[in-house]
Amino acid sequence: MDAFAGAEVPQPDPNPAAEVKPMVRYKGVTKSFGDLQVLKGIDLEMQPGEKVAVIGPSGSGKTTMGRMLMTLEEPTEGTIEVDGELLWHMQEKGRLVRANEKHLHRMRCSVGMVFQHFNLFPHMSVLRNVTEAPRKVLGLSKEEAEERAVSMLGKVGLDDKLKMYPANLSGGQKQRVAIARALVMRPKVMVFDEVTSALDPELVGEVLEVIREIAEEGDMAMMLITHEMDFAKEIADRVIFGADGLIVEQGTPEEIFDNPRSERLQNFLQRFRSN
C-alpha cells in the first residue's frame, strides 16, 4: 500500500519570495528492498545550477538515490520534488496520492541520467540513438530532433560519428553518445552515475572532460555519483558523503576532502587513498 495515501498536503510557504526554490528536494526519503533498508531518511536539497557529488562506500545507496530521481525506483517513504513539483506523488482532492503514469512520464522528462553501462540501442546508428527519445517522447519532427541531436553530438565531440553503430565505437565514445542522448531532452537535472567505472583508464579523461564542459555551462543542476574523488573535488559545489543509508556529512569539497569531521568519512577517505 502507498504509505502516502491520505497524508496531509504540505502547506505552501507563506512567503515564497523569501525562499530560493530548490531544483531538487528529497524529504524524509527511505527505500527498502524487502527487509533491506537501503536509505533511512534522506533530506537533501539541490539548488538550480548546483553540482553535487555523492560519495560513499559501495552499497550505501548512492545509485538508488539517483534512480529514484529518474523515476526508476519508487521511494518507500518520503517525497522528492523537482523544480517545485512532486515527482512520485500528486495532489488529489487535497491529499497526496501516488502519481499516475501520465504525471510520472511528464516528470521523467525533467531528469536525465547517464549510467555506468551505456545502454545504447545496438541496432541504431549514433544519430538515431540520440533522436529516438526526442521523437517518441517529446513528439519532435525528424528534422527538429536531428537538429538538436547533431548539436548535442557536436558538443560531445562526435559529430563525425553520426552514421556509426555502437559496436564500432570505443567505450569513451559510447559514453559520450549516452551523455548526448540524455542532454538532448533538455533536462533540468542530470544524474551521472559512475559513468567512468566501466571504461579503460585511458578513456576516462575524454568523458570527464565532456562532463566538465557541461558543468562549466552552469545552468543545469547535476548529481555526480562517483568514486573519482579528484574529479568530485574539482567539479562539485558540494559533496555529500553517504553511509549506512544516511547522509553522514556534507560540505564544500575542501571541507569534505581536506577537513573531514566524522570518523566514518576519515576512514573512508583513508581507505580510498591507500588503494
Instruction: Compare residues 117 and 188 and give the one whose CB is closer to ligand ATP.
Output: 117
For the stretch 243-253, what's the b/e string if a residue is b when 16 or more beta carbons lie within 10 angstroms of its beta carbon?
bebbbbbbbeb
Instruction: Compare residues 150 and 191 and give the one whose CB is closer to ligand ATP.
Output: 191
Answer whether 83's CB lies under 8 Å from 75's CB.
no
Instruction: Compare residues 39 and 169 and give the one whose CB is closer to ligand ATP.
Output: 39
Q: Is 94 exposed, middle or buried (0-12, 13-18, 19+ CB in 10 A)?
A: exposed
Q: Angle at the Cα of 121 (from 120 to 126), degrees rounded to 5?
A: 75
Site string for ligand ATP, 47-86 (x = CB under 6 A): ---------x-xxxxxxx----------------------
Q: How many CB atoms are closer than 10 A to CB 103?
A: 17
Q: Which of 107, 121, 30 is nearest to 70 (CA)?
A: 107
89-92 and 95-98 beta bridge pairing: antiparallel
Cell readout for 46 is 539541490
Instruction: Compare residues 15 and 58 and give the one whose CB is closer to ligand ATP.
Output: 58
CB of 64 to ligand ATP, least distance (A): 3
Instruction: Compare residues 61 and 187 and give the one whose CB is closer to ligand ATP.
Output: 61
Q: Which of 3, 13, 33, 254 binds ligand ATP (CB under 6 A)?
A: 33
Instruction: Compare residues 57 and 157 and give the one whose CB is closer to ligand ATP.
Output: 57
CB of 72 to ligand ATP, least distance (A): 9
CB of 266 to ligand ATP, least distance (A): 19
Q: Does 272 bind ligand ATP (CB under 6 A)?
A: no
Q: Which of 23, 24, 29, 38 binds ligand ATP (CB under 6 A)?
A: 38
CB of 58 to ligand ATP, least distance (A): 3
Site for ligand ATP in 96-115 (CB under 6 A): none
CA–CA gap between residue 24 and residue 110 (Å, rounded): 11
CA–CA gap between residue 226 and residue 272 (Å, rounded): 12
- Binding residues for ligand ATP, rule: CB under 6 A, are 33, 38, 56, 58-64
